[in-house]
Amino acid sequence: MACVAAVAALSACRLPGQGPTPAPLPSVRAEEASARGIDLVELQRRPWTS
Amino acid sequence: MQQAVRDGAFPGGVALVGSRSGILARSAAGQLDAADPPVPDVNTLWDLASLTKVVGLTSGVLRLVQDGRLDLDAPVQRYLPTWTGPGKSVVTVRHLLTHSSGLPSWRPLYKEATTPAQARALVLATPLDTAPGVRMVYSDLGAILLGEIVTRVAGVPFNELVTRDVFAPLAMRETTWLPSPSKRARIAPTEVDPWRQRHLRGEVHDENAFALGGIAAHAGLFSSAADLSRLARMYLQYGQLDGARVLDSVTIARFTSRPDGSLSHRALGWEKPSGSNSAGHRMSAEAFGHTGFTGTSLWIDPAQDVFVMLLTNRVNPTRESRRIGQVRIAVADAVLGLLQGCAENAPILECPASRRYITK
């Protein structure tokens, strides 16, 4: 239990000067994007991301 | 993005594309500073500059309007009776939101005032230089005045209203004026400021916002791509996010539509696509957005269910680089082009922007 608590405490920390860890961002699922006609792989591949 | 860094458009930047349900794509390039190697990410904190006007100020005004506490067509003097002078009696709240009040664009408050109170008093004393409602002049002074109105009507400082009623319900915990020094390592540095004679990091770049104490309605907010994505997704869902209603959908529509007889490509607070501004060429007529001097921009297109955000510190180490304008357009066009089913780099005439969304 002590290890679990320690890991939880560590995961809530960042380096000094960075503040607490923000929540992760939700990603649109590939199937959902595909249903809209969006190719996520292609979107990530296009030059604006490179 | 990498090419933009190589071209010297900015030292570091993050682009984020999303829909109402989440993030579609993200990209980061460069580093925060020549002496600060980490690549920026969605949690990097950026000086938003004039994005403050829409993310902060306009959100606060919208809240008061939806609650029936502020009348867009009321004279400013209803809320600020001491704001007097030639022509001022006919200036309305709407004039301030559409930058058509007749107030000049700017004055060097930071050179004229020695305290925030003096700077505020100078704004209130500034005379009109054009008749109200005749011409659009993008005015920081008008935005600061509008912040004074929000403060007066809300009964609390405008930044507290926005933080309490907009940022907190959206869990935008990193969005703030005067960011804590504890977050300094995550804040993108801006200019080596010739006036303050130091490299700015975590203090507002805009000199007048600094003169106003760092909390100003026209500039001064710091935020992250992650936080701003929540605001953008709320707008794409017409005022709600994760089951919580933050803004009223009808009022959002009023604020983000191009008004009849508009003097410019402006809605209320927000800009609209003009064909030549940072929206690029593929946003729908429903889209709205804004830019910030430090290299930030956000465009939201409900008709295409997409937002495009670009956060950079293009003023690091100097404000002289102007290449960000082309980058904003290139990113918006590339992203929207794909969503519209266009071939890569397809010219607008070969793949008209309206092909896809107009049928929705």
Residue B351: per-residue pLDDT: 83
Residues B317-327 have pLDDT tens digits of 999 988 999 99
Choose the closest CB to B24 out of A28, A37, A47.
A28
Residue B357: per-residue pLDDT: 46
Residue A4: per-residue pLDDT: 46
Residues B266-292 have pLDDT tens digits of 999 999 999 999 999 999 999 999 999
User: Is B226 part of the contact surface with chain A (CB cutoff 8 Å)?
Assistant: yes
Residues B245-255 have pLDDT tens digits of 999 999 999 99
Say if residues B221 and B55 touch (Cβ distance below 8 Å): yes
Question: Token pair 């410019």 is at which residue?
Answer: B264
**ipTM higher than the 0.85 cut:** no
Residue B34 has pLDDT above 60, yes or no: yes
Distances B128 to B27, B73, B141 between C-alpha atoms, Å: 44, 18, 11
The amino acid occupying position A45 is R
Residues in chain A closer than 8 A to B171 (CB atoms): 23
Interchain contact, A22 vs B330, CB within 8 Å? no
Residues 308-337 of B with CB under 8 A from A: 330-331, 334-335
Interchain contact, B21 vs A32, CB within 8 Å? yes
Residue B174 has pLDDT above 90, yes or no: yes
Strand, helix or coil for residue B333 = helix
Round the average pLDDT of chain B to a whole number and report it.
94
DSSP category for residue B128: P
The amino acid occupying position A3 is C
Q: Which phi and psi (to 5°) does residue B307 adopt?
A: -125, 150
- Helical packing angle, B116-125 and B140-154, nearest 10°: 110
Chosen from B7, B14, B17, B170 to mutate, greatest number of chain A CBs within 10 A? B17
Percent of chain B with pLDDT over 90: 89
Residue A49 confidence class, pLDDT cut points 50, 70, 90: low
Interchain contact, A19 vs B182, CB within 8 Å? yes
Chosen from B6, B241, B339, B342 to mutate, greatest number of chain A CBs within 10 A? B339
Residue A22: per-residue pLDDT: 64
Residue B38: per-residue pLDDT: 83
Interchain contact, A43 vs B24, CB within 8 Å? yes
User: Is B6 part of the contact surface with chain A (CB cutoff 8 Å)?
Assistant: no
DSSP category for residue B185: G
User: Is A23 part of the contact surface with chain B (CB cutoff 8 Å)?
Assistant: yes
**B226 CA to chain A: closest CA distance, Å?**
7
Pairing of strands B176-177, B45-47: unpaired
How many contacts, defined by CB atoms under 8 Å, are there between A and B?
A: 87
In B, minimum Cα distance to A38 occurs at B339
